[in-house]
Structure 1
Amino acid sequence: MNKIILLPLTLLIFFGAFAGELAKGSKLYQKHCASCHGVDRAGTVAPPLLPLFLKKIPEKKLIYIIKNGLPATQMPAFPQLSEDEIKSIIAYIKTPAKINWSEEKITNSISIENLPTKKLPIKNIKNIVAVVERGHQKVWIMEETKILDKFDFRNVHGGLKFSPSGWKLYVPSRDGWIGRYDIDKGKFFGKVRACVYLRNISLDRTGKYILVSCWLPRSIVILDAESFRPVRFIKQDGLISAIYELYSKDKAIFTYRDKAVIGFLDTKDFSIVYKKIKEPYEDFFIDPFEKYIVGTSRKGTQLIVYDINADKEIFSYPIEGMPHLASATFWYKNGKFYFATPHIGKPYITIWQMYKWKFVNKVNIRGNGFFVRTHPTTPYLWTDNGKDKIVLVDKNDYMVKTVETIKGKRVIHTEFSGDGNLAYVSLYNKDGALLIYDSITLKLIKKIPASIPIGKYNIINKSRKYAPYLLGKDVFLAKCWGCHHQTQSAFGPSFKWIVNHRSKDIIISHIMNPEATYKQLGYKRNAMPRLDLSEEELKAIVSYMMEFKDAENN
């Protein structure tokens, strides 16, 4: 009987002591921390102090930071606080908090910089590369091997997006801030805080709106891309994995980590249609021709293909280790389209055929990789494996070779210039570097010191609308190179001449059935072979051709 009475009494004492500790921590927090981190811990001039941001930081490190501050930041030291007082603050900031966010708070957060403009010496906007230097909280604007400008952005982590023209760059942070750099004016425009914890951003296909997926509060926020003013605040009851725009229609697609649903957002009226699926897609990509969604779950037991037009899953394949589908890469060879993806926590990448969906190969890269990239200019898939070498996988026979970098430095994330001639590779260390290689000879051209450089972003390689263009270059090299040149006359007219003198419909008709169209084009006889292209090959080659259309003829 005594034991039954003592147990609740013990619990009451424990919870009473814990409540007292939290009350003490709350009081100390409001006195010492609230002016920078916010009364509600949502952050103001300093980052949020909430469980989502703190769960991976050991208590010992938090104690050290509060006691000693952080050099080169606005975080001061608090040597006057005892260790017990600091532990009370830590206990308090690790408890859940109710976050209220609103369109009014978004509007009040808008900060527009009044900086002078400057003209950057840009030769080709499509070769601009934005580099995230996480260690110094900076973003670089580069072309080829030159840094043209740098700007500060606190808590930058990646996920940068270009406007459709490429002349504006949008930069998100995990704590909800979105900044814009105007490349055409050579200056940082300003920033806005869309929410407290941000997953990713996208732009609608016109570039008019910024689409923001948020975890705190759970929402989709639509912002005017020019003024940053909120247009719509759409509450959600799940954790969104990511949101991506479609380039072919006024839609965006998002999925959840914790709900077996796909959301289709209309980017004109902001209505949402939800479609049920069998299990949540915690990571996904949309195929280059916007017919399918390829998704997977954190459990990593299935790779699934969802047909957007048919509203159903049409393919699944058992796998081990969650594919990192957001970093998948695409290419074309021998009449077929492929993608490759790394697997989180597994020492391999996998190769898959698209459109006649099937598993092709598992390639051992001898370590846990996180990114895989390619470009029509290179014969390789460029990946990393958590070590100090670049891992190259031949796209024809899947044989593996490595490129030495700097011993003991961790290689991560390759990206290419728009033309594919240069490969940018990060050495992901505090005393790391950005390495720039000739993508064909694999010769190191330049090494630029950098502190924890991570993502590199180029409009051709990172904007979804250019995926068919890149695949079309592969189709061109396989099917058209013998008779046509991109800009010069060869056996046949150049692509540049064709797209500036013929309609898109005529071009498609002539590719599909030249015998039926050659007279209409003024030829006495037909010299164009019938290529029997698949629907995807045709879309790819036409997309590639249309990039040579002069601006005045668009």
Structure 2
Amino acid sequence: MKRMVFGALSGAVLTFALGLILAPGARAAAPAIDAGALYVQHCQTCHGVGRLGGMGPALLPENLHRTGRKKALAVIADGRTATQMPPFKTVLRKDQIAALRDFIFTPPAVRPTWDMDKIKASYVLHNDPAGLPPHPVYKGDPLNLFTVVEAGDHHVTILDGDTFTPLWRFPSRFALHGGAKYSPDGRFVYLGSRDGWVSMYDLYNLKPVAEIRAGINMRNIAVSADGRYVLAGNYLPHSLVLLNAKNLRPIKEIKVEDAHGVTSRVSAVYTAPPRHSFIVALKDIPEIWEISYEDHPRPVAKGMIHSYEKGMLEGAFDTGKFPIRRIKLASILDDFFFDQGYDTVVGASRNGKGGQVINLNVGLKIADIDLPGMPHLGSGITFTYKGRPVMATPHLKDGVVSVIDMTTWKTIKRIKTLGPGFFMRGHKNSPYAWVDVFFGPNRDAMQVIDTRTLKIVKTLRPAPGKTSAHVEFDRSGAHALVSIWDTNGAIVVYDAKTFKEVKRIPMKKPVGKYNVYNKITYSRGTSH
């Protein structure tokens, strides 16, 4: 497997040191810097023609927003630790560094494309899964493994959830995003990167299986509940790519556009197990798509309204294999939360004007929700409070957790926290929900909410001064694992009943960890 541990600018000026050194003391007016020519001469080998990526990541504005313009200057000047990006501050002038930075943050004159021919050409088969033994090579529960994404040096660790011992650590593609997704039996894990790569690994044999580049800038992936398909959603190009989950070979590319030809980025893709379909959230047009992956999709699902039968827009279909049902919305939604039965989806927009509930069976909005600010619905959980199903979500701008009655869709309570949060987790075997304080001066705090009283009962500070985030429970709910988001970070294991620390495992900025059992059973306490 090719090593992919470059930073956002890793290798971008990898060979600049071979030239471009001015004579000492030269003060004559220099010609304008042709950053494009410099890229072709010195960067294209690693980062590809048209900045589309190769051994190094794509150097396009869509792929660099997390790095930012200011940080990009520092990366070129100082390099990046644990990557092949060297420092160039003693080789390049400041204006050369700035010119290169400006070039990679400038959109190309012609929008880059990534079609099926390029997708197929990128395919790499490392190990044919048909030839690998169908049983684990280690002792322990294969359903209690954790996939831990370490962003500090672009690696992934497979952690034994019984002994909290690392079993396997391997280099990953750049900027993994959207969490780990698993095959229904828990044997295979699928990872998606910002650069469009989808990677597949065998957790029984601890080996890579296959990789394919589905896009230039990808949001996330989803695995069908029947284990046959992987769907990748792209920012660039505006497309969905369907893959065979057995080996990642491509099946179909779907252009994302509305009835008038207006194209859209994909915000996220999800699988809806009871519906035998994928749900697709769109960034630029007010629609939700539902794509059936049944071999013989039923013409009318439970309570579904068809546009060609009723003259309505809320259930419009494209026919054929993998039919697309287009559900019209009043506004564009950026973040989503599903009920456990996948009958309803709660969506919110980034404008902070609240949320809305859409019934997927009839394709209509059935309620508005009072969700001010910017709720992080993708991290929401469900539990039972006083005999009623409720959802709870942190907010990215406000120090509160909103608790919503899922029968009336009314706010039951807003629980004040020490600051805005990003991730929230619970477990069916635990009466507690854990939420981080991801932003602000209390970012080192982790707060525990008693779901029976809706009160905060414990505040932990696993590493004072360092960000604590992304709780995940083990299979049984007996332990809660917390990430220390630092280059010299750790996974901190807590007893989920006593809140006492059990173990601390050093890791390189472990941004997320995903328990196999909780994910494949679609546990109400974890993200789907």
Please report the TM-score for the alignment, with normalisation by the length of structure 2: 0.81
The Cα RMSD (Å) is: 2.1
The 1:152–1:322 alpha-carbon spacing in structure 2 relative to 1, beyond 3 Å, is same
Structure 1 partner of 2:236: 216
Structure 2 partner of 1:545: none
Structure 1 partner of 2:58: 48
CA deviation profile, 1:386-440 (whole Å, cap 9, x unmatched): 3222201111111212123222121101000111111110111112110011111
Structure 1 partner of 2:371: 319
Matched, 1:306 2:353: no
Structure 1 partner of 2:484: 427
Give the Cα separation in 2 of the matches to 1:21 and 1:92: 13
The 1:220–1:122 alpha-carbon spacing in structure 2 relative to 1, beyond 3 Å, is farther
Q: Secondary structure at the match of 2:346?
A: strand
Give the Cα separation in 1 of the matches to 2:104 and 2:173: 21
Q: Secondary structure at the match of 1:429?
A: coil
Q: Tell me how far 1:114 sits from its aligned partner.
A: 4.9
Structure 1 partner of 2:522: 466
Give the Cα separation in 2 of the matches to 1:282 and 1:77: 38
Question: Which residue among 189, 204, 215 is the counterpart of 2:209?
Answer: 189
Q: Secondary structure at the match of 1:40?
A: helix
Bigger-Rg structure (1/2): 1
Structure 1 partner of 2:23: none
Structure 2 partner of 1:172: 192
The answer to whether the 8 A contact 2:156-2:170 is kept is yes
Structure 2 partner of 1:90: 101
Matched, 1:394 2:450: yes
Structure 1 partner of 2:125: 112
The answer to whether the 8 A contact 2:224-2:278 is kept is yes
Matched, 1:254 2:280: yes
The 1:103–1:238 alpha-carbon spacing in structure 2 relative to 1, beyond 3 Å, is same
Q: Secondary structure at the match of 1:105?
A: helix
Within 5 Å, give how 1:373-384 maps onto structure 2. Answer: 373-384=425-436
The answer to whether the 8 A contact 1:120-1:148 is kept is no
- One-letter amino acid matched to 2:277: K
Give the Cα separation in 2 of the matches to 1:321 and 1:50: 30
Give the Cα separation in 2 of the matches to 1:21 and 1:89: 12
Q: Tell me how far 1:224 sits from its aligned partner.
A: 1.1
The 1:353–1:285 alpha-carbon spacing in structure 2 relative to 1, beyond 3 Å, is same
Structure 1 unaligned spans of 5+: 1-19, 472-554
Matched, 1:143 2:169: no
Structure 2 partner of 1:37: 47
Matched, 1:287 2:339: yes
The answer to whether the 8 A contact 1:261-1:276 is kept is yes
Give the Cα separation in 2 of the matches to 1:249 and 1:158: 22
Please report the TM-score for the alignment, with normalisation by the length of structure 1: 0.77
Structure ranking higher on relative contact order (CA contacts 8 Å, 6+ apart): 2
The answer to whether the 8 A contact 1:382-1:414 is kept is yes
Q: Tell me how far 1:310 sits from its aligned partner.
A: 2.2
Give the Cα separation in 1 of the matches to 2:475 and 2:140: 12
Structure 2 unaligned spans of 5+: 1-30, 257-262, 295-320
Structure 1 partner of 2:260: none
The 1:58–1:311 alpha-carbon spacing in structure 2 relative to 1, beyond 3 Å, is closer
Structure 2 partner of 1:130: 147
The 1:315–1:194 alpha-carbon spacing in structure 2 relative to 1, beyond 3 Å, is same
Give the Cα separation in 2 of the matches to 1:57 and 1:139: 21
Structure 2 partner of 1:448: 505
Q: Tell me how far 1:75 sits from its aligned partner.
A: 2.5
Q: Secondary structure at the match of 1:466?
A: coil
Q: Secondary structure at the match of 2:51?
A: coil
Query: Matched residue pairs, number?
Result: 449
The 1:157–1:260 alpha-carbon spacing in structure 2 relative to 1, beyond 3 Å, is closer
- One-letter amino acid matched to 2:481: Y
Matched, 1:356 2:408: yes
The 1:227–1:319 alpha-carbon spacing in structure 2 relative to 1, beyond 3 Å, is closer
Give the Cα separation in 2 of the matches to 1:149 and 1:56: 28
Question: Which residue among 203, 207, 227 is the counterpart of 2:227?
Answer: 207
Q: Tell me how far 1:68 sits from its aligned partner.
A: 4.3
Give the Cα separation in 1 of the matches to 2:450 and 2:119: 48
Give the Cα separation in 2 of the matches to 1:60 and 1:341: 32
Give the Cα separation in 2 of the matches to 1:280 and 1:383: 27
Give the Cα separation in 2 of the matches to 1:384 and 1:314: 31
Q: Secondary structure at the match of 2:275?
A: coil
CA deviation profile, 1:281-303 (whole Å, cap 9, x unmatched): 11002210111011110112112
Q: In percent, how many aligned pairs have the same letter?
A: 35
Give the Cα separation in 2 of the matches to 1:61 and 1:252: 37
Q: Tell me how far 1:270 sits from its aligned partner.
A: 1.9
The 1:60–1:243 alpha-carbon spacing in structure 2 relative to 1, beyond 3 Å, is closer
Q: Secondary structure at the match of 2:99?
A: helix
- One-letter amino acid matched to 2:519: K
Structure 1 partner of 2:463: 406
- One-letter amino acid matched to 2:98: K
Of the structure 1 ranges 107-116 and 228-237, higher mean CA displacement relative to structure 2 is found in 107-116
Give the Cα separation in 1 of the matches to 2:226 and 2:289: 20
- One-letter amino acid matched to 1:373: R
Structure 1 partner of 2:391: 339
- One-letter amino acid matched to 2:399: P
Q: Secondary structure at the match of 2:49?
A: coil
Give the Cα separation in 2 of the matches to 1:70 and 1:429: 15
Higher helix share: 1
The answer to whether the 8 A contact 1:224-1:231 is kept is yes
Of the structure 1 ranges 264-273 and 441-450, higher mean CA displacement relative to structure 2 is found in 264-273
Give the Cα separation in 2 of the matches to 1:71 and 1:282: 34
Structure 1 partner of 2:173: 154
